[in-house]
Amino acid sequence: MLTKDTRKVPTICPFCGVGCNLDLHIQDNFIFKVTSPFESIVNKGNLCVKGRFGYDFIYNKRRVTTPLIRKHPQKPGQRTQAFDRSEWSETSWEEALEYTANRLVEIYQSGGSDAMAVYCCAKATNEDNYLLQKMYRVLFRTNNIDHCTRLCHAASVVGLQKALGSAAMSNTAAEVADTDVFIITGSNTTETHPIIAIQMIAAVEKHGAKIIVVDPRRVEMVNHAALWLAERPGSDVAVFSGMAHVIIKEELYNRNFIEDRTENFEQFCRSMEKFTPEYAESISGVNRDTIIQAARMYANANRAAIYWTLGISQSTHGTDNTLSLINLALLTGHIGKHGTGLNPLRGQNNVQGASDSGAMPWHYPGYQEVEDEETVQKFEKMWLIEHGGLNRIKGLSTTEILANVGKDGIRSLYIMGENPMMSEPNLNEAHLHMQNLEFVVAQDLFINESAAYADVFLPAVSFAEKNGTFTNTDRRVQLVRKAMTPLGNSRADWEIIGDLATRIAEKIGRNQSSGWIYNHPSEIFKEMGQLVPSYRGITYDRIDRVGLQTPVPNEDHPGTPFLFEESFPRGRGKFHPLDFRSINEETDEEYPYLLNTGRLLEHWHGGTLTRNSWLDDLYPEGYVEIHPSDAQKLEINDLQAVKVTSRRGNVILRAKVTEKTIPGVFFIPFHFAEAAANMLTNDAMDPEAKIPEFKACSVKIKKVDLTDLPFPNVLQQRGRY
């Protein structure tokens, strides 16, 4: 029954990068309902199943709300996972933070900056991320700072930076209402960004917009598409360069735009000569006529936009894939205008913001390079550090951090809210690295597969128990509001970091103690705004009702719905000549199938939140998708238990026989620890972006007994039953 104590608190969804606006309805410190305002620019009152119903993880009895320390000291090489609470002792914040500070300082003083590393978090606020990267840069003088953006859109970032000088999504998602032609590639949009998918489908139904899907899977968007280019995994450069070839040959390009706004056109055209539709078909398996049709449809549109996610970026040539999309936009001039653009849809709720906040090994906040002397001196002055104090060498990326664990390398790891033991590729190898660490800190809500390795667990609060900001996929900075009192002894991430940094500063003797005391996250945001030009004009007051889209260079600026109207940050947009390179691990006689991995609507990333929600009851176990023709050949029935093996590991799970995948290609969602797709994936990386090739590796399959399925044993071990 509702009483006068019932409150409604506006805030932002904690799951995907769409950044839907929520109203949390609270009574007695309990969220009893979630709605969304119809007037929201972002989602117009719509929410997907995660945003509407997925918040119950906050009250899950498995959530940790008091600091914990491992009962048995862990040694490098013998570190084990402890899911069971009996292996941990409850402790006070004072003891947990003193212990953490002492161990980190001890390792820093004996091993130096190179022994330290931190994973920031795309689920945490801008303020949390800014403060954690600052703590590691200022106190431990290291740039070994990264987060899961490395595993999602690193190649998009590198490609966009190289060609345009800006890595953000160029246009506003709501502009899809006015787009005539969409290319959607490497994105299962209805499951990963469902509210944007709704808007795209509405554009098709209301004004006849056309969708071109380029994807090895028959994703739901194919049902609404004019064309489906069912490419072989890893052949993106061939398909998009094939389209570029047609646009050049048929002179469908935008001559004025190319002359006024771009460079390197001639050289690019020469490299496209070999990409005839026939050549593109021979690599990708996509019919040459369909490639020609797609090229004409995109080039002849009034307003055409390209949307992509991890199918493009998670590749050993993800940077080339991204450049092949950028080349198309530069060729046609479908950039710098309303309803057009290059739009890498960001995965987690604040992956854009965590990157903006400096949770990156090569960049300070605002993508300012750690190797640029002028930039470094600016940060030294702002952070009250002696000249020469900040580290001027690029740090290690996420996968490199684990690969460098050892006596003379990384010895300690601080993990805020991430789950690398689910999200890293080649997990068997990643586990070995994790076991070799000397000291591990986990700051989270649950003891997930990574936190189970920690020496100390610092219980953080959920999105509903803290203030701050998230920046969504279309660069909109929005206020996250504290709607309820934190449960138990849990604390906001920024408070934990501030308290810890004060202690570390005192122990190291850097006299920085006053630099870590903030009374409210708005103070942290203000400090960040002074260092990040695109955030300079944003204040909490200005985004109280509606968020602002960066760049917002001053307090009179209204925000920027779409980028590059007059110029690109690097001046002219640069065409990049391309050649086709195959995936790192092709099929062979022993491993005759390709594995593709991805996400599901009901779950999110490593599953720390959604698998501790009733959403897990909706979708409780992983499966491998097999095309009916392969299933027939292999005599595998629907729901048959199978073992899928790659050169790096194996998983046992059920088969789903479906035309969602194409012949020769399997698909496994990566959210399920008991059948973790990343046991199989390849850790070969794009040389520039350092993103691993999650989307294609060779595998084999065999039937096993249903009794071989690992559940519920693994789930019991993790306390889920």
Cis peptide bond upstream of 551, omega within 30: yes
**Tokens linked to 181:** 């032609």
**Residue 24 in contact with ligand SF4, rule: CB under 6 A:** no
Using CB under 6 A, which of 10, 31, 50, 424 touches ligand SF4? 50
Between 12 and 441, CB nearer to ligand SF4: 12
* In the complex, least distance from residue 182 CB atom to ligand SF4, rounded to whole angstroms: 18
312 φ, ψ (degrees, to nearest 5):
-85, -45
Q: How far is the CB of 195 from ligand SF4 (least distance, A)?
A: 4
Nearest distance in Å: CB 419, ligand SF4? 18
Task: Quote the tokens at residue 290.
Answer: 């369909």
| Long-range contacts of the stretch 510-517 (C-beta < 8 A, 24+) | 510/138, 510/139, 512/138, 512/139, 512/384, 515/138, 515/383, 515/384, 516/131, 516/135
Q: Locate 608 and state its tokens.
A: 């720390």
Distance CA 316, CA 689 (A): 9
Helices (H), 436-588: 493-508, 521-531
Distance CA 716, CA 591 (A): 32
Question: Which range in 9-17, 56-64, 322-330, 694-702 contacts ligand SF4 by CB under 6 A?
Answer: 9-17
> Residue 247 CB, nearest distance to ligand SF4 (Å)?
33
> CB of residue 342 vs ligand SF4: minimum separation in angstroms?
21
Q: Shortest approach of ligand SF4 to residue 58 CB, angstroms?
A: 15
Least Cα distance to 546 among 530, 536, 558, 528 occurs for 558
DSSP assignment letter at 465:
G
Smallest distance from the beta carbon of 18 to ligand SF4, in angstroms? 4
How is 408-462 classified by DSSP, letter by letter? TSB-EEEEES--HHHHSSSHHHHHHHHHT-SEEEEEESS--TTGGG-SEEEEBP-
Select from 42-50, 137-145, 530-538, 653-661 the region that touches ligand SF4 (CB under 6 A): 42-50
Q: Compute the least distance from the CB of residue 420 to ligand SF4, in Å.
A: 22
Question: Which CB atom, from 464 or from 500, has the smaller least distance to ligand SF4?
Answer: 464
Smallest distance, ligand SF4 to C-beta of residue 338, A: 23
**If we measure between CA atoms, which residue out of 12, 38, 66, 111 comes closest to residue 467?**
12
Is 18 an interacting residue with respect to ligand SF4 (CB under 6 A)? yes
Q: Which of residues 48 and 402 has its CB atom nearest to ligand SF4 in the complex?
A: 48
Q: Which is nearer to ligand SF4, 321 or 473 (CB)?
A: 473
Task: Kindly state whether residue 20 participates in binding ligand SF4, applying the rule CB under 6 A.
Answer: yes
Does 503 sit near ligand SF4 (CB under 6 A)?
A: no
| Residue 47 binds to ligand SF4 (criterion: CB under 6 A) | yes
CB of 108 to ligand SF4, least distance (A): 38
| Residues of span 533-562 touching ligand SF4 by CB under 6 A | none
Contact track, ligand SF4, 319-358, x by CB under 6 A = ----------------------------------------
Q: Residue 134 or 193: which CB sits closer to ligand SF4?
A: 193
Stretch that binds ligand SF4, among 40-48, 487-495, 623-631, 689-697 (CB under 6 A): 40-48
Q: Which stretch binds ligand SF4 (CB under 6 A): 44-52, 101-109, 179-187, 403-411?
A: 44-52
CB of 126 to ligand SF4, least distance (A): 17
Residue 293: is it exposed, middle or buried by C-beta count within 10 angstroms (0-12/13-18/19+)? middle
| Residues 241/280, Cβ–Cβ less than 8 Å | yes
Q: Which stretch binds ligand SF4 (CB under 6 A): 11-19, 118-126, 403-411, 449-457?
A: 11-19
| CB nearer to ligand SF4: pick between 194 and 358 | 194
DSSP state of 563: S
Q: Does 307 bind ligand SF4 (CB under 6 A)?
A: no
What are the beta bridge partners of residue 477? Answer: 471, 548
Cα distance between residue 113 and residue 127, in whole Å: 23
Nearest residue (CB) to ligand SF4, 16 versus 594: 16
Tokens of 677: 């797709």
Specify the residue, 366 or 669, whose C-beta has the smaller distance to ligand SF4. 669
Cβ-based nearer residue to ligand SF4, 51 or 186: 51
Cα Rg, the chain, nearest whole Å: 25
Residues 191-230 interacting with ligand SF4 (rule: CB under 6 A):
194-195
Block residue for tokens 């450049």: 323
CA–CA distance, 719 with 721 (Å, rounded to integer): 6
Question: How many C-beta neighbours within 10 Å does residue 617 have?
Answer: 8
Query: Please, which residue, 618 or 714, has the CB nearer to ligand SF4?
Result: 618
Q: Is 16 in the site for ligand SF4 (CB under 6 A)?
A: yes
* Rounded Cα–Cα distance for residues 498 and 509 (Å): 16
Taking the complex as a whole, the smallest distance from the CB of residue 189 to ligand SF4 amounts, in Å, to: 10
Residue 433 structure tokens: 């690295």
Strand ranges (E), 169-302: 181-185, 210-214, 227-229, 262-263
- Which residue lies nearer to ligand SF4 by CB, 220 or 693? 220
Q: Among residues 26, 40, 51, 304, which is the contact residue for ligand SF4, using CB under 6 A?
A: 51
Q: How far apart are CA 599 and CA 310, in angstroms?
A: 10
Q: Quick count: other Cβ atoms within 10 Å of Cβ 706?
A: 10
Q: Which stretch binds ligand SF4 (CB under 6 A): 47-55, 395-403, 701-709, 713-721?
A: 47-55
Structure tokens at 694: 């999650």
C-alpha to C-alpha distance for 199 and 179, rounded to whole angstroms: 11
**Closer to ligand SF4 at the Cβ: 191 or 281?**
191
User: What order do you get walking across the sheet with 227-229 strand by strand?
Assistant: 227-229, 210-214, 181-185, 304-308, 341-344
Q: Which region among 12-20, 137-145, 434-442, 665-673 touches ligand SF4 (by CB under 6 A)?
A: 12-20
What binding mask, one character per residue, do residues 157-196 give for ligand SF4 by CB under 6 A, x or -?
Answer: -------------------------------------xx-
| 19 torsion bin: left (phi>0), alpha (psi -120 to 50), beta (else) | left
Q: DSSP letter for 374, please.
A: H
Size of the site for ligand SF4 (CB under 6 A): 13
* Diameter of the chain measured on Cα atoms: 72
Q: Give me the residue whose beta carbon is nearest to ligand SF4.
A: 51
Instruction: Give the nearer residue to ligand SF4 in terms of CB position, either 197 or 323.
Output: 197
Binding footprint of ligand SF4 on the chain (CB under 6 A)? 13, 15-16, 18-20, 43, 47-48, 50-51, 194-195
